[in-house]
Structure 1
Amino acid sequence: MTAIKVGIIIGSLAKASINRKLASALEKLAPEGMSFSEIAIGDLPLYSYDYDSDYPAEGRALKAQIEASDAILLVTPEYNRSIPGGLKNALDWASRPWGTNSFNGKPVAVIGTSPGAIGTAVAQTALRPVLGFMNTIQMNQIEAYIQYKPDMIDDQGAITNPETAKFLSGFLESFQSFAARHKG
Structure 2
Amino acid sequence: MKILAFGASNSRESINKILAEYTAKQFENAEVELLDLNDYEMPIFSVDREKHDGIPTLALRFAEKIDASDLLIISFAEHNSTYTTAFKNIFDWISRIKDRKHFGEKPVFVLATAPGPGGGKNVVAHFEARAPFSGANIIQSFCLPKFKETFDIKKGIVDDEKNTEFQEKLSAVKNFFA
Q: TM over 0.5, yes or no?
A: yes
1:25-46 deviations in Å (ceiling 9; x for gaps): 2234x13244421233223212
Aligned residue pairs, count = 174
Which whole-Å CA distance do the structure 2 matches of 1:172 and 1:111 have between them?
Answer: 11
After the TM superposition, which segments of 4 or more aligned residues of structure 1 sit over 6 Å from their partners? none
CA drift at 1:23 = 1.9
For the 8 Å contact 2:131–2:138, the answer to whether it is kept is yes
Q: Secondary structure at the match of 1:144?
A: strand
- With 159-168 and 68-77 compared, the bigger mean Cα shift is at 159-168
Secondary structure of 1:81's counterpart equals coil
Q: Which amino acid aligns with 2:97?
A: P
Structure 1 residue 160: deviation in Å? 3.1
1:152 aligns with 2:150: yes
Match among 152, 165, 168 for residue 167 of structure 1:
165
Distance across 2 between alignment mates of 1:87 and 1:14: 11
How big is each residue's C-alpha offset from its partner over 1:67-93, in whole Å with a ceiling of 9 and x where there is no partner?
111121110121111122211222222
Equivalent-residue separation in structure 1 for 2:61 and 2:141 (angstroms)? 29
Deviation string 1:106-138 (CA, Å, 9 cap, x unpaired) is: 112211011222211111111123222113222
Residue matched to 1:74: 74
How far the C-alpha of 1:64 sits from its partner, in A, is 0.9
Corresponding residue of 2:136: 136
Equivalent position to 1:41, from 33, 37, 55: 37
More strand by share: 2
1:51 matched to 2:50? The reply is yes
* 1:12 CA displacement: 1.4
What is residue 5 of structure 1 aligned with on the other side?
2
1:25 has 2:22 as partner: yes
Out of 14, 34, 40, the position equivalent to 2:11 is 14
- Which segments of 5 or more consecutive residues in structure 1 lack a partner in the other structure? none
> Deviation of residue 56 (structure 1)?
2.4
Structure having the larger proportion of residues in helix? 2
Distance in 2, Cα, partners of 1:136 & 1:27: 18
Query: Any conservation in 2 of the 1:10–1:19 contact (CA below 8 Å)?
Result: yes
Query: Matches of 2:171 and 2:50 in 1, distance apart?
Result: 39
Structure 1 vs Structure 2 CA RMSD: 2.4
**Aligned-residue identity in percent:** 22
Conserved in 2, the CA contact under 8 Å of 1:39 and 1:62?
A: no
